[in-house]
């Protein structure tokens, strides 16, 4: 499959979010990545339901909601109601992950599980077949604009191998420090969804940067 690009609005201008959503609408972005933080699971607080509902009002692009919150099972229905198309919960935040994944599917969303940098891919062995997406955190979650962790490549290789054997349609999403410079290597390793916050929103021309991220092809042999 062609890979997907999901700009993260964590790096958008919250005083004028409408402008940034219009920019994303005009761009070749596939999804809009929406980072929800509760100040407990991660040290930062971002935004919640009213902001997501407002974003949904201005776009037809699917909302890829990444929940960095404790016990996300409390709010699955509410995130669906404000417009989530996909909901990703953290492995580390769920005691009954299997049940939470089923409840995401029951509301009609794509179900994703995110892994923090220290969480081994092997822990997904007994749930991988139930998932639409795995998000590999390539920074410690909580903030945009951090440095990419190189160990991520190893994790993508391992996950790709597991996916080929058990769930070939699995989406492998990489989140944190993704840029024009590492995207080709990430795609070659097996990623198929690229999240980019800082790389898009701090660019001179965000629409151009999104187009560049979209254009990168692991099949083209670069001279
Ligand atoms: C970090 C968030 C990311 C963040 C990525 O906790 O999950 O989605 O927005 O930002 P960049 O691309 O700037 O690292
Ligand atoms: Zn995210």
In this structure, which ligand is nearest to the CA of 44?
Answer: 1
- Best probe residue, ligand 1, of 40, 113, 143, 193 (max atoms within 8 Å of C-beta): 143
**Interval 52-69 mean pLDDT:** 98
Alpha-carbon torsion, ordered 140, 216, 156, 134, to 10 deg? 70
Q: Ligand 1 in contact with 7 (CB < 6 A)? A: no
Q: Ligand 1 in contact with 9 (CB < 6 A)? A: no
Question: What is the CATH code of the structural domain delimited by 4-221?
Answer: 3.20.20.70
What's the 177 CA to ligand 1 centre distance in angstroms? 7
CB contact at 8 A, 6 and 31: yes
Pairwise CA distance, residues 59 & 190, whole Å: 29
- Tell me, yes or no, if 20 is annotated catalytic: no
Out of 20, 35, 64, 132, the active site residue is: 35
* Residue-level pLDDT at 70: 98
* Residue-level pLDDT at 218: 87
| Side-chain half-sphere CA neighbours of 115 within 13 A | 21
Q: For the segment 150-209, what is each residue's pLDDT rounded down to a tens digit?
A: 999 999 999 999 999 999 999 999 999 999 999 999 999 999 999 999 999 999 999 999
Q: What is the pTM of this model?
A: 0.97
Residue appearing with tokens 């597991």: 162
With 0-12 / 13-18 / 19 or more C-beta atoms within 10 angstroms meaning exposed / middle / buried, residue 70 is middle
Out of 20, 30, 38, 175, the active site residue is: 175
- Tell me, yes or no, if 38 is annotated catalytic: no
Nearest CA to ligand 1 atom 4: 144
Domain chopping of the chain, boundaries: 4-221
Q: Which residues surround ligand 2, an ion (CB under 5 A)?
A: 35, 66, 175
SS3 assignment, position 17 = helix
Pairwise CA distance, residues 163 & 145, whole Å: 29
Nearest ligand 1 atom to alpha carbon 137: 7
Q: Ligand 1 in contact with 178 (CB < 6 A)? A: yes
**Interval 206-216 mean pLDDT:** 98
CB contact at 8 A, 47 and 36: yes
Residue 223 has pLDDT above 60, yes or no: no
């Amino acid at each position: 499959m062609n890979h997907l690009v999901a700009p993260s609005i964590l790096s958008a201008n919250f005083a004028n979010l409408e402008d940034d959503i219009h920019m994303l609408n005009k761009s070749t972005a596939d999804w809009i990545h929406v980072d929800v933080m509760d100040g407990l699971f991660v040290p930062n607080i971002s935004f919640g339901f009213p902001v997501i509902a407002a974003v949904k009002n201005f776009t037809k692009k699917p909302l890829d909601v990444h929940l960095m919150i404790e016990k996300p099972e409390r709010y699955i229905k509410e995130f669906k109601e404000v417009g989530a198309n996909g909901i990703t919960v953290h492995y580390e935040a769920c005691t009954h992950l299997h049940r939470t994944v089923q409840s995401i599917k029951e509301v009609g969303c794509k179900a994703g599980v995110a892994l923090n940098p220290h969480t081994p891919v092997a822990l997904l062995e007994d749930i991988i077949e139930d998932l639409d997406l795995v998000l590999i955190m390539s920074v410690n979650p909580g903030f945009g604009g951090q440095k990419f962790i190189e160990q991520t490549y190893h994790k993508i290789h391992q996950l790709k191998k597991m996916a080929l054997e058990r769930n070939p349609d699995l989406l492998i999403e990489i989140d944190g420090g993704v840029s024009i410079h590492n995207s080709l290597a990430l795609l070659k390793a097996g990623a198929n969804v690229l999240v980019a916050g800082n790389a898009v929103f701090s660019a001179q021309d965000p629409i151009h940067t999104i187009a560049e991220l979209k254009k990168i092809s692991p099949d083209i042999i670069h001279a």
